[in-house]
Amino acid sequence: MSAQILSSHRTPWTQRLNAWFYRHNQGGRLTTLVLFLPPALTVFTLFVILPISESGLYSFFRWNGFTELSEGGRFVGLRNFAQMLQHDVFHVAVWNTLKIVLISLVIQLPLAMAVALAVASKSRINNLFRLIFFLPFILADVVAGLIWRFIYDGGTGLVAAVTNLFNLEAFYPLADADWAFNAILVVVIWKYFGYHMMIYIAGLQGISDDMIEAAKLDGASPWKIITKVKLPLIWPAIRLSIFFSVIGALQFFEMAMPLVQSGGPGGSAHTIVTYLYEFGIVRTRVGFGSAVAVVLFLACAVFAFTYQRYVMRQRD
C-alpha cells in the first residue's frame, strides 16, 4: 500500500492530468468543452457581460457620453432611477409595454393557434396560406413600420382612401394621442402572429395520425380532439411561444420608430425601449438611459429565469 502511494507521488503531474482527462472525457464531451467554451465565454464577456456592467456603472452618473466618465461624469447615486420612476412618460411607456404583452397573449397567440389548426394539414392550398400569413414576419421591422406608416397616413394612405370614400373628415391615427398606440398594436399583431403560427404548426404536425384516429374511433368530437388531444400535446410549443412573445414585447423598438417619432403625440406611444432611446440617446443623457437599461435588463432577466424555472421545466 505504501509502495503504491509512493509511486503515485512520483508520477509526473502531466501524466496524472492526462489520466484524469481520459477518465472524464466521456464521448469527447470534455474535449469539445475545452475547445469551444473559452472562445464562447470570451465573446459573451466582451459583448454581453462588459456592456451590462458598464451600463450599471453609468446609471449612477450624470454623463452625456461625449467625454471621459472621470472628467465629465458627476456621481449622482440613485437620482437617475428616482427621476425615471417619477417621470409620467416612463409610466406611459411601462403601461404600453404591458399592453403589448396583454394583446399578444389575449389576441395574437389565440389567433395564431386558430389559424395553425386550420392550415396545419399538409396540402398545397395550406402551404399557400402559411406563406401568406408568414410573409409579414419575413419583412424587416423597419420596412413593416414604413409600410404601415403609409397605410395610416390620413392624407395619402389607405386610411385617407377610406375616409374619402365615406366623405369623412381626414383622420391621422398616428397623430392622435388616443389612437397612436392602438394603431401600433394592430401592426404588432399583424407582424408577429405568423411566427407563432409556424411554431404551433410544427407542434401539430408532430402529433401522430394514429392518435387522432383513435380519438375519433372513441367518439371524440372535433372540439374535444383539439382541447383534449392536440393542445395538451403541443403544450411545450405553446410555452415557448408565450416566452418569445413576452420577451419580444419587452424589447419592442425597431418597428415603432418609423411609425411614430419621439414617442408619438405627447409621448403617448412610448415603449420602454423607445423611452430609453429618446431620453438616453437622443437627448445625450447616457447616465439616465443606462438607468432605464438596467431596469429593463432586470425585468427581462427576472421574467426569463422565473419562466424557465417554473414553466419551461414542467413535465408534460
pLDDT, position 314: 65
Which of 29-33, 68-72, 112-116, 263-267 is the most confident on average? 112-116
Contact (Cβ atoms closer than 8 angstroms) between residue 263 and residue 270:
yes
Q: Residue 300 and residue 247: Cα distance in Å, rounded?
A: 7
Best-predicted range by mean pLDDT among 63-72, 155-164, 289-298?
Answer: 289-298
Q: Does residue 201 surpass a pLDDT of 70?
A: yes
Predicted local distance difference test score (pLDDT) of residue 316: 54
pLDDT at 4 over 70: no
Average pLDDT over residues 27-37: 80
CA dist., res. 228 & res. 230, Å (int): 6
Query: How many alpha carbons fall within 13 Å on the CB side of residue 201?
Result: 22
DSSP string, 235-271: HHHHHHHHHHHHHHHHT--TTHHHH-STTSGGGTT--
Instruction: Determine the pLDDT at residue 132.
Output: 92
Averaged over 290-302, what is the pLDDT? 94
pLDDT value for 300: 93
CA angle 147, 148, 151 (to 5 degrees): 95
Average pLDDT on 282-303 reads 93
Across residues 182-206, what is the average pLDDT?
A: 93
Residue 150 banded pLDDT, cuts 50, 70, 90: very high
What confidence tier does 312 reach under pLDDT thresholds 50, 70, 90? confident
Cell of 38: 473559452
Predicted model pTM: 0.84
The pLDDT mean for the chain works out to 88
Residue 53, pLDDT score? 92
Mean pLDDT (whole number) for 27-46: 84
pLDDT mean over 272-289: 92
Residue-level pLDDT at 273: 94
Cα distances (angstroms) measured from residue 209 to each of 112, 126, 127, 227 = 22, 18, 19, 16
